Amino acid sequence: MFSLDDRSKLYPHAIIQRVSAGENILYAGVGPLVVIVLWALIFRQGFHKSHVTILGLFISLLLTSLLTDIVKNAVGRPRPDLIARCKPAPGTPGHELVTIDVCTETDHHTLHDGWRSFPSGHSSFAFSGLGYLALLIAGQFQIFRPGKDLTRTLIFFAPLIGAALIAMSRLADYRHDVYDVTAGSILGMSIAYFSYRRYYRRLRHPKCYEPYPSPSDVGSRRNDEEHRAVRVEDFELDDLDEDDEGIPLRSHT
């Protein structure tokens, strides 16, 4: 429910957005993917490293989108431009709580999307993609290891600044308030970090630029170690006390 004299819901409805949904996908989804693919090809990162890095990006984007839509549909919140979307019927009481029944907007998406303000989908998606790219850059450049130069640090910050600009554009378009944008940004960055750490070590680790080994490599290494252990166990010291014919050998003093 809402009232027509609620000033926080009286902002204009921006038909042309500063960053549309398609542009957000291009900036925060396609952009990081292209950068990762070029990085993998140019520097020949190998199949396993390229595979887990791209897979982590997709998991970050898809999981963030899923959780954002779940919260939007379950909780929502009226957008700052709700009343402009609603187009209340003439004679609607201005100081009483009313419902969607007073709205005259005929476009279903425009009207019902007015109650899906929390959290900001643009913000969560931007930080899930560009935030993931920033974490990858931090790991490859070892930003959080001592003695790193400023240039690499600025490269690390570039995707985060881009994500922040996308998030702030939602405030300028009056699609969200600061709480929606903040919650969306935290959600997207948290999922990006979760997805990144599933495959890479912590950013202060000496080998943070390398992903965890693949399960097949771990299995083959374990088999080799078990094989060596069996060979050591088969080689007993008692065998040195006899020759091939079972005759005891002279002990050395």
* Residue 116 backbone dihedrals phi, psi, to 5 degrees: -120, 50
- Is residue 109 among the annotated active site residues? no
* Rounded CA separation 193/195 (Å): 5
Model pLDDT, residue 126: 98
pLDDT tens by residue, 49-105: 999 999 999 999 999 999 999 999 998 899 999 999 999 999 999 899 999 999 999
Q: What is the pLDDT along the chain (253 residues), one digit of tens a residue?
A: 999 999 999 999 999 999 999 999 999 999 999 999 999 999 999 999 999 999 999 999 999 999 999 999 998 899 999 999 999 999 999 899 999 999 999 999 999 999 999 999 999 999 999 999 999 999 999 999 888 889 999 999 999 999 999 999 999 999 999 999 999 999 999 999 999 999 999 999 999 999 999 877 665 565 555 556 545 444 444 444 444 444 454 444 4
Can you give the pTM of this predicted structure? 0.84
Which one from 13, 108, 112, 122 is the annotated catalytic residue? 122
- Is residue 48 among the annotated active site residues? no
Model pLDDT, residue 219: 54
Model pLDDT, residue 244: 46
* Rounded CA separation 138/149 (Å): 12
Model pLDDT, residue 229: 52
* Rounded CA separation 186/44 (Å): 33
Model pLDDT, residue 215: 79
Model pLDDT, residue 218: 62
Which one from 176, 205, 227, 252 is the annotated catalytic residue? 176
CA proximity to 201, closest of 145, 249, 121 = 145
DSSP sequence for 173-201:
TTSS-HHHHHHHHHHHHHHHHHHHHTTB-
Model pLDDT, residue 148: 80
Model pLDDT, residue 147: 82
| Alpha-carbon Rg for the chain in angstroms | 29
